[in-house]
Amino acid sequence: MMQENLPEILFDSSYVSEIEERVYKQTMEQRAMGRKIVGIYCAFTPKELLAAADAIPVSLCGGSEKPFPVAEQYLPANLCPLIKSSYGHAVADTCPYFHMVDFLLADATCDGKKKMFELLQRLKPLHLLLLPQSPVPEESLDYWEKELYKVIAFLEKNTGNAITQDNLRKQIQVYNRLRRTVENVFQLNTHDIPWVFGSEIDAITSMGGFECDIEARIAEMETAMEKIRHRSLSGRFLAQMQKRPKLLLTGCPNTNKKVLHLIEKVGGVVAAMETCGGLKSTGRLVDEGDEPIRALAEKYLNVACSCMTPNSQRIEIIGELIDRFKVHGVIELTWTACHTYNVEAFLVREAVEQRFERPYMQILTDYSQNDVGQLETRIGAFLEMLG
Ligand code: SF4
Ligand code: SF4
In this prediction, residues 125-134 reach a mean pLDDT of 96
For the CA of 61, the closest atom of ligand 1 is: 5
Residue 74 and residue 219 in one domain: no
In a domain, residue 54? The reply is yes
Residue 284 and residue 158 in one domain: no
CATH of the domain at 298: 3.40.50.11900
Residue 148 and residue 187 in one domain: no
CA distance 301 to 57: 19
pLDDT over 70 at 314, yes or no:
yes
pLDDT tens digits, 139-190: 999 999 999 999 999 999 999 999 999 999 999 999 999 999 999 999 999 9
Residue 235 and residue 108 in one domain: no
Ligand 2, pocket residues at CB < 6 Å: 80, 82-83, 109-110, 112-113, 252, 307, 335, 338, 340-341
CA distance 49 to 37: 13
Residue 171 and residue 74 in one domain: no
CA distance 47 to 100: 18
In a domain, residue 2? The reply is no
End of a domain among 120, 143, 164?
A: 164
Structure confidence at residue 303 as a pLDDT band (50, 70, 90): very high
Residue 153 and residue 176 in one domain: no
Q: In this predicted structure, what is the pLDDT of residue 321?
A: 97
CA-nearest residue for atom 7, ligand 2, is 110
Give the CA distances from residue 330 to residues 21, 363, 384, in Å, rounded to whole numbers and listed in that order. Answer: 35, 11, 14
Ligand 1, pocket residues at CB < 6 Å: 42-44, 109-110, 253, 276, 303, 305, 307
**Ligand 2: distance of its center to the CA of 353 in Å?**
25
Residue 111 and residue 187 in one domain: no
In a domain, residue 11? The reply is no
Residue 294 and residue 372 in one domain: yes
In a domain, residue 5? The reply is no
pLDDT over 60 at 93, yes or no:
yes
pLDDT tens digits, 226-282: 999 999 988 889 999 999 999 999 999 999 999 999 999 999 999 999 999 899 877
Residue 50 and residue 188 in one domain: no
In a domain, residue 102? The reply is yes
DSSP letter at 242 equals H
Residue 159 and residue 208 in one domain: no
For the CA of 43, the closest atom of ligand 1 is: 7
The fraction of the chain above a pLDDT of 90, given in percent, is: 93
Residue 207 and residue 356 in one domain: yes
Read off the pTM: 0.96
In a domain, residue 133? The reply is yes
pLDDT tens digits, 26-77: 999 999 999 999 999 999 999 999 999 999 999 999 999 999 999 999 999 9
Backbone φ and ψ of 257, nearest 5°: -90, 10
In this prediction, residues 126-138 reach a mean pLDDT of 92
Please give the mean pLDDT across all residues of the chain: 95
End of a domain among 164, 188, 207?
A: 164
**Ligand 2: distance of its center to the CA of 31 in Å?**
31
In a domain, residue 9? The reply is no
CA-nearest residue for atom 2, ligand 2, is 338
CATH of the domain at 77: 3.40.50.11890
Domain containing 299 equals 166-386
**Ligand 2: distance of its center to the CA of 338 in Å?**
5
More confident residue, 355 or 233: 355
CA distance 101 to 97: 7
The domain tally of the chain equals 2
CA distance 340 to 176: 29
